[in-house]
């Protein structure tokens, strides 16, 4: 199911050279990880929205939707199917995973995701207790999310040969570069997907690099914290019955868990070496592994075009590929509701419409042709 590239964050984490946290098991407050200072310091810019959230998606008539699909379809034809998809959080909103900057984006509800440096901070374990207690609530819902019409249509279009590129020897294949860590493209049947920011379903040890499944880690956390689990389970019941507010899910599987004391929560370490475990995702403030970046640049070079879907392109890790395509004199199609960083750039074609609607229409046409 998963692409060959999801080892991405492993490479990233290996480069941390974090010291072992031994002994194995729960991490005590006195244990410290050497902080790494080798990460890009651009988080402050990323984390503060400077503009109000965009308006909700325009509701298009059938004729308007058909016109949007015509525009994208003509572009795909011009590119002869040699197109790479670049997707962002906007396409997973309909699966119940909120985005950061959409109409209901979590940035506009005072959510600030944890940064890499915060996660590996040596000062206390309070930040890990906050992160993992919230994640115990948020991850279940994150893990249960199902692909929506956009993911399904994109997988159908890939099977119909409408996009995807091959290059190199032996050949590498890339159909989709996604900023999302939910693996919903793969769940819908897409193949050769680059998870640019890793996978929220995997864990990696920052000391020995071992990769494990996040669901198994959650089971260990739950077993180590029975009292906290009792409180958390009440979140899933009647929220008004116990006075505990229903938590709000975050784009990275995090959740808002206010009013719960987590100061005695135990955080489990790596079973092999006792090191600090981290979701295998590129947190804000960290860099995408070089091998993945190169693979995406190679895919861009092999492609005649790129369709950006559901991304405001605010984050440079994705925007650079758009810039790369434009720099090579290729046009880029951007399907998104609301403004994007690429708006107004020479060579960019904009469709301001709901991605699921547009792609479903394209998939319908591909089936009937």
Residues serving a catalytic function are 197
In 3-state terms the chain splits into helix, strand, coil percentages (rounded to 5) of 40, 15, 50
Please report where in the chains the tokens 């395509």 appear, as a residue.
325
**Closest approach of Cβ 270 to Zn ion, in Å?**
3
Binders of Zn ion among 271-290, rule CB under 5 A? 272-273, 275
Residue with smaller CB distance to Zn ion, 208 or 366: 208
For tokens 């810039």, the residue is 323
Nearer to Zn ion, 196 or 205 (CB): 205
Candidate ranges 26-34, 209-217, 279-287, 353-361; the one touching Zn ion (CB under 5 A): 209-217
Across the strands, what pairs with 334? 308, 350
Q: How far is the CB of 17 from Zn ion (least distance, A)?
A: 13
DSSP string, 52-90: PPPPPPPPPPHHHHHHHHHHHHHHHHHTTT-EEEEE-GG
Question: Which two structure tokens, joined as six digits, stand for 47?
Answer: 């984390």
Q: Which residues in 8-67 contact Zn ion (CB under 5 A)? A: none
C-beta closer to Zn ion: residue 7 or 175: 7
CA–CA gap between residue 91 and residue 184 (Å, rounded) = 10
Residue 296 counted as an annotated binding residue:
no
Cβ of residue 217: shortest distance to Zn ion, in angstroms?
A: 12
Q: In the complex, what is the shortest distance from the CB of residue 278 to Zn ion, in angstroms, rounded to a whole number?
A: 11
Task: Check whether 13 is labelled as a binding-site residue.
Answer: no
Rounded to an integer, what is the distance from CA 13 to the centroid of its chain? Answer: 17
Phi-psi region of 321 (alpha: psi -120 to 50; beta: other; left: phi over 0): alpha
Q: Which residue do the tokens 């075009």 mark?
A: 305
CB neighbour burial string for 113-143, b if at least 16 within 10 angstroms, e if fewer: bbbbbbbbbeeebeebbbbbbbbbbbbbebe
Q: Is 68 annotated as a binding residue?
A: no
Smaller CB separation from Zn ion, 18 or 362: 18
Least distance to Zn ion from the beta carbon of 267, Å? 14
Considering the complex, what minimum distance in angstroms separates the CB of residue 179 from Zn ion? 27
Tell me how far CA of residue 157 lies from CA of 37, 191, 236, 299, 368, in angstroms. Answer: 42, 11, 37, 18, 12
Under the criterion CB under 5 A, does residue 207 sit at the interface with Zn ion?
yes
**How deeply is 44 buried, as exposed, middle or buried, from its count of CB atoms within 10 A (0-12, 13-18, 19+)?**
exposed
Tokens of 152: 């399904």
Give the footprint of Zn ion on residues 231-270 (CB under 5 A): 270
Pick the closest to residue 361 from 149, 184, 163 (CA basis): 149
208 is in an annotated binding site: yes
Q: How many residues bind Zn ion (CB under 5 A)?
A: 8
Helix axes 62-78, 355-368, angle to 10 degrees: 70
Strand order in the sheet with 198-205: 211-213, 198-205, 277-281
Could you give the string, one character per residue 167-206, with x where binding to Zn ion holds by CB under 5 A and - elsewhere? Answer: --------------------------------------x-
CB of 185 to Zn ion, least distance (A): 29
> Distance between CA atoms of 225 and 233, rounded to whole angstroms?
12
- Can you say which residues are annotated as belonging to the binding site for Zn(2+)? 205, 208, 270, 273
Q: Which residues bind Zn ion (CB under 5 A)?
A: 205, 207-208, 210, 270, 272-273, 275
Annotated binding site: 205, 208, 270, 273
């Amino acid at each position: 199911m998963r692409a060959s590239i999801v080892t991405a964050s492993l490479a990233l984490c290996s480069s941390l050279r974090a010291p072992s946290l031994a002994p194995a098991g729960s991490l005590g407050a006195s244990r410290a990880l050497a902080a790494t200072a080798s990460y890009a310091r651009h988080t402050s810019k990323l984390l503060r929205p400077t503009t109000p959230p965009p308006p909700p998606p325009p509701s298009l008539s059938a004729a308007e939707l058909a016109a949007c699909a015509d525009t994208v379809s003509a572009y795909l034809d011009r590119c002869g199917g040699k197109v790479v998809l670049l997707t962002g959080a906007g396409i997973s909103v309909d699966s119940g995973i909120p985005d950061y900057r959409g109409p209901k984006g979590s940035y506009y509800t005072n959510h600030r995701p944890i940064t890499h440096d915060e996660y590996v901070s040596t000062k206390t374990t309070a930040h890990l207790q906050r992160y993992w207690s919230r994640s115990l609530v948020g991850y279940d819902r994150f893990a249960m999310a199902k692909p929506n019409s956009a993911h399904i249509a994109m997988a159908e279009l890939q099977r119909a040969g409408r996009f995807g590129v091959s290059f190199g020897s032996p050949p590498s294949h890339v159909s989709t570069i996604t900023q999302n860590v939910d693996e919903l493209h793969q769940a819908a049947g897409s193949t050769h997907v680059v998870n640019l920011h890793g996978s929220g379903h995997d864990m990696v040890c920052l000391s020995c690099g071992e990769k494990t499944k996040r669901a198994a880690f959650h089971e260990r956390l739950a077993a180590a914290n029975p009292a906290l689990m009792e409180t958390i389970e009440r979140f899933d019941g009647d929220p008004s019955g116990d006075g505990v507010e229903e938590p709000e899910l975050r784009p990275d599987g995090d959740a808002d868990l206010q009013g719960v004391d987590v100061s005695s929560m135990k955080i489990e370490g790596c079973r092999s070496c006792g090191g600090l475990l981290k979701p295998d995702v590129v947190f804000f403030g960290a860099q995408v592994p070089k091998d993945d970046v190169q693979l995406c640049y190679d895919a861009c070079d092999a492609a005649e075009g790129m369709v950006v879907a559901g991304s405001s392109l605010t984050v440079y890790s994705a925007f650079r590929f758009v810039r790369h395509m434009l720099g090579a004199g290729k046009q880029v199609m951007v399907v998104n509701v609301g403004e994007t960083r690429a708006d107004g750039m020479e060579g960019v074609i904009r469709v301001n419409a709901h991605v699921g609607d547009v792609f479903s229409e394209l998939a319908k046409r591909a089936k009937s042709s």
